[in-house]
Every structure is written in structure tokens, then in C-alpha cells.
Amino acid sequence: MTTEAQESVVRDGVHYHQFDIVIVGAGGAGMRAAIEAGPGARTAVISKLYPTRSHTGAAQGGMAAALANVEEDSWEWHTFDTVKGGDYLVDQDAAEILAKEAIDAVIDLENMGLPFNRTPEGKIDQRRFGGHTAEHGKTPVRRACYAADRTGHMILQTLFQNCVKLGINFFNEFYVLDLITVKDADGKTQIAGVVAYDLSTGELHVFQSKAVIFATGGFGKIFKTTSNAHTLTGDGVGIVWRKGLPLEDLEFFQFHPTGLAGLGILLTEGARGEGAILRNASGERFMERYAPTIKDLAPRDIVARCMVQEVAEGRGAGPHKDYVLLDCTHLGAEVLETKLPDITEFARTYLGVDPVVEPVPVMPTAHYAMGGIPTNNNAEVLADNTTVVPGLYAAGECACVSVHGANRLGTNSLLDINVFGKRAGRQAVEYVKTADFVPLPENPAGFVSGMLEGLRNNQGTERIAVLRKTLQDEMDKGAQVFRTHDSLEHVLGVIKDLRDRYRNVHVDDKGHRFNTDLLEAVELGFLLDIAEVVVYAAQNRQESRGGHMRDDFPKRDDENYMKHTMAYLTGDPHSSTPSDHIKLDWKPVVFTKNEQGELNYPPLERKY
């Protein structure tokens, strides 16, 4: 492994590098792509964090695969659960790829050295998880492969160790701020590389490449109550958006049911997979009323709405009746300390609650973006519904295949990063074998340099932290689990005001080394861009589906909205209303058929 091993040239204070493939992001998707790409092409991984600090490490519960090590299972059942769990907005060909390739993805990780929990026979152990069933919804099934409640952490460490083994070039604490594109003679977008800001020196680096893979994660920090790390500000999604490329299904954001009340820190669904129970203030197992078949293991969007409804109807616990309780006490100390050690420690540390002897206060927390950069099944980024941008790829949470539809099943995220991260790396290698480097435009770092110096030297009075807090507070109030036209309209007005105030921000730190004040100013710009698309698309979708619940349109509307939202930036984001600079269009959902020509996974009522 190297960080500056490749030769670089310095011109006018800017460092220039050349690689066949540049991967932006060193989480699970980025490093899985690097493992696939590294042996076949000169590959660089650029990350604003040290790789093992990436947010994949926060994933706890497991990775789905129909191994059938503990109970009978099949990839067809897994596909059905993915489609049904996604409220039928899932592209079904992508879901079949995910479920079929899941088994090899788990075996790949095992062969790389990942220490999965084991059955007494020595096989990879599996646990139950929400929405995963046998025989197309009849009973819960044990499908989640896990390493205690640190599965994402183990995956991240394993992938990093294998990248080191392969000698992958890492540029750590480099913040990519621009995608270098040029237009060919026909006006089509060509990829020339990326521009990154070295946090340790403040210098700019241009990475010329034949292919770029975005694996930059999600954007949960548009919300106040979130399980996402402080760094998940949607940088990759925002960069692509500013380049005029579309974003898909951004209105669908998943709110994980069990965040620590008031904090949002995640308690894995694996706790309910091991038998933990959600209870209201009176001790009732209320999910029996809403999902009598699989109860607490219903899909996350359903459980989150039920929890909010319990509180809204006065059955919440605590002095303010504003949360419900996750009861693990019957599981016993041994199960909690061996299979769920991290969440046990989280509850003790952050709330002073011991899950061994008392229930834990929980409420939904913003967790996962189902939408993002649109791609096909080979992780190639799309310029519209069908046109591929040659040499540009995306994988993981920043991408929208769409394999999660309107609601991602638990454990399918760690699966997604491995299946489609691998596909992105493999496809990029094939592309660069015959592609040429696109000549860099004159002064390729000019835009980034101007943006950074403009923020650094701005004489404004607005505080970055105040603007960010206002955005997050208002998103929690108006665009979280339940939404209405009026609540979303109010948030759009707030975002418009924050955009105006953002022009007047003040950066206290004028330095160049590890200037986190400047970094957060840049991140705020991305958050405002993405939040606006999320809210505008949510207002446009006049139905309830998956993670998108409209109180004023409470039913799913397959006749009018069985289609993906495609958003395009068409003008100046500082114009008066979103309709002046955002164009919304639609993209059909992909359905697959069986040998008789019938739909394999027809839309059904989501009863559990």
C-alpha cells in the first residue's frame, strides 16, 4: 500500500496524478471495487477519511445471503422479500442479481478472512432480520450472516487488509470536490478525472483517469436525528448533481426503527432478530396489532411508522411519552454480551440504561438513502433513463441501481456494497482496457480553487453550524417519517432562505492545514443541494410507499406512481423556487417474468 508512491507533477501549485481508475470513497463499496480493479489496472482510492473510519464500520446486524446453513432458504425467496420489502419500486432484474450473487459475496469475504459467527457444525451462522421470510412471506427465516453486532466493522477491516495485500494506492484524507468532465464533438459527457483537496496541506490534486467510481456513501446529515456519521454529507451525490447528471428516487429515505431515543445512535435490528420486543408504555407488544405474522421483524418502514403512531396516539413511554421501549431483558446476559455486545454498551454509555435488566428507550432515526446516482446493473452511471456515461460508475449507498426501491431490507446494504462494488470494479477494468485518457481542460482545478478561496475569504456574518442546525431541525420536523404537502412546502421555504444566508457565511479559520471549518462550509453546500431535491421530489410524489409516507396521500398508488423519480438540475440553484432549476421526470420500474410470461413478483398488499 502507498499513499504517494505514484509519480506526480506539480504545476502552478497543483499536483497532477494519472491512474487508469480512480475510486472516490474507501468504505465497503469502494474497497470491494478496488480489490476487483487493482490487479487489472492502475488504481487509486481517494478518501476524506482513513479507510477503516468509513461508515461501513457502523453497520451492525448482518449481510443477507440464502446460504440455508440454519434453515431452508432460496435466492428466489430472498428476491421476493427484497421486492416486496421495497414496496414494489425495486427493479426486479437488479434484485435477482443481488440475491443470486449474495452467496458468492459471503463466500468471498469468508475466503478473505472475515470471522463470521459459526454454528456448532462450523458453518457460517445466520440470524433472523426484518422482512426476510421463507416461502414468499409465510414465516421468518434465518438469512443474515453476521459477526456478533460488528458485521460492518469486520467487513471494513477485512476489505482494507486485502487492499493492503494487493498494494492498492490510497490517498487518505483527500476530499474530492469536483468531477472533471469535457464534452466531445457530439456534446456527450466524457470523464477526465477528479479534483481533490489535501486536508493535511490545503493543496489541490488533479487525478487524471480513464474511469471514476463513486462510492461516497449516503447523506443522512440532512436530518438532525440520524444514525449517520458527521461526515455523511452526500459529497459524491452532490458533485454528480452539480455536473448536470440526474439523481433517482431521492424522496425515499429509510428511518431505522431503533435509534437511541433523542440521540439517533443505532441499535441493530439484529436485537429483534435475536428475540428483542418493542413495547409501548403499558408493556404491550404493539407490533402484534400491526404485523401479526412477523411482528417486530416487519420491514423497517412499517415498524418505524407504527412506533411513531404509538407515540402520536398517547402510548409512548417516558416522562414526555415521546418514545417506545426495546425490551431485551428476557434474552439474558449471555446472549447480550456475546451476540449483541456493542448495542449493550451503547445503551449503557449513552443513556445509562442496562439492557440486561431494563428496556431501552428507542425512536426512529434517519438511516439510509434508497435513492442516489442512477446506475444500470453493471454500476455504470446513467445520464438519463438509458444513456450510459462512459467511464463513470457508482456503487453503494450513493448509487441507485435500484435494488432497494422504496425501502431497503435490513442486511441488504452490506450485501449491496459487495455485489455492486465488485461489479463496478470489474466493469471499470474492462472499460479501461480499450479507453484512452481524455485530455484535461485548461486549469482543471480552477472551479475548486475558486470555491474554496471564495468561502475562505468571504466577509459574511452567518455561522455554518447555525445554518446546518436549522436545516437539520426543519428536515426532522417536516420531512421525516410522516410528510404532508404543507410540511414539505415549509421546508422548501427554509432551504431557500438558507441558500441566501449561505452566500454570507463566515469561515473563522483562514489556514490551510486540516481546516475543518472550511471543510464544513463546503459540506453544508452539498447538504442544501441534496435536501432540496429530497423535499421537492417528496412533494411531487402524491402517494405513500416504503420510506415515503404522505399523511395527505396515505395509500400506495400503483396506477400513477409505480415509477422512479428522476431529478435534473436545469438552472441556478439560487433561483426563487425549485421548479425554476429542478426538472422532475419518471423512469419505469423493471419487472421480470417467468416462463409463462407472468410477472414473477406482482405488486401485492404488504401484509405481514
Question: Are the CB atoms for 33 and 43 separated by under 8 Å?
Answer: no
Q: Could you please report the per-residue DSSP string of 301-360?
A: HHHHHHHHHHHHTT--BTTTT-BEEEE-GGG-HHHHHHHSHHHHHHIIIII---TTTS-E
Integer CA distances (angstroms), 538 to 249, 327, 535, in order:
9, 34, 5
Phi then psi for residue 471, to 5 deg, are -60, -50
Phi then psi for residue 47, to 5 deg, are -140, 135
- Amino acid in the structure at residue 297: L
Residue 28, annotated ligand binder?
Answer: yes
The answer to whether residue 300 is catalytic is yes
Integer CA distances (angstroms), 542 to 254, 302, 374, 554, in order:
18, 18, 22, 9
Question: Are the CB atoms for 219 and 29 separated by under 8 Å?
Answer: no
Tell me how far the alpha carbon of residue 64 is from its chain's centroid: 17
Residue 413, annotated ligand binder?
Answer: yes
Residue 189, annotated ligand binder?
Answer: no
Please tell me which residue in 32, 150, 272, 300 is annotated as part of the active site: 300
Cell numbers at 603, concatenated: 405488486
Which residues partner with 22 through β-bridges? 44, 212
- Beta-strand ranges (E) seen in 358-465 are 360-369, 373-374, 380-382, 388-394, 399-400
Residue 244, annotated ligand binder?
Answer: no
Residue 29, annotated ligand binder?
Answer: yes
- Class of residue 487 by CB neighbours under 10 A (exposed 0-12, middle 13-18, buried 19+): buried
Strands 139-145, 204-214: pairing kind: unpaired
Residue 68, annotated ligand binder?
Answer: no
Residue 157, annotated ligand binder?
Answer: no
Question: Are the CB atoms for 535 and 488 separated by under 8 Å?
Answer: yes
Residue 50, annotated ligand binder?
Answer: yes
Residue 392, annotated ligand binder?
Answer: no
Place of cell 459524491: 236
Residue 61, annotated ligand binder?
Answer: yes
Q: Which residues contact 403 (CB under 8 A, 6 or more apart)?
A: 82, 86, 90, 91, 94, 95, 97, 98, 412, 416, 420
Residue 575, annotated ligand binder?
Answer: no
Residue 414, annotated ligand binder?
Answer: yes
Phi then psi for residue 495, to 5 deg, are -65, -40
Residue 408, annotated ligand binder?
Answer: yes
Residue 6, annotated ligand binder?
Answer: no
Phi then psi for residue 224, to 5 deg, are -80, -50
Residue 368, annotated ligand binder?
Answer: no
Q: What is the spatial distance between Cα 266 and Cα 259, in angstroms, rounded to a whole number?
A: 5
Closest listed residue to residue 215, CA positions, set 377, 397, 21, 429: 397
Residue 55, annotated ligand binder?
Answer: yes
Eight-state DSSP code of residue 118: B
Cell numbers at 487, concatenated: 410540511
Tell me how far the alpha carbon of residue 410 is from its chain's centroid: 12
- Amino acid in the structure at residue 137: G
Q: What is the spatial distance between Cα 428 and Cα 168, in angstroms, rounded to a whole number?
A: 15
Q: How many residues are listed for the chain in this entry?
A: 608
Residue 485, annotated ligand binder?
Answer: no
Residue 52, annotated ligand binder?
Answer: yes
Residue 268, annotated ligand binder?
Answer: yes
Residue 86, annotated ligand binder?
Answer: no
Residue 62, annotated ligand binder?
Answer: yes
Which residue stretches of 253-299 are H helix? 270-273, 287-290
Residue 137, annotated ligand binder?
Answer: no
Closest listed residue to residue 391, CA positions, set 189, 527, 571: 189
Residue 460, annotated ligand binder?
Answer: no
Residue 561, annotated ligand binder?
Answer: no
Per the annotation, binding residues are: 25-30, 47-62, 235, 256, 268, 367, 397, 408, 413-414
Q: What residues are annotated to the active site? A: 300
Per the annotation, binding residues for substrate are: 256, 268, 367, 408
Per the annotation, binding residues for FAD are: 25-30, 47-62, 235, 397, 413-414
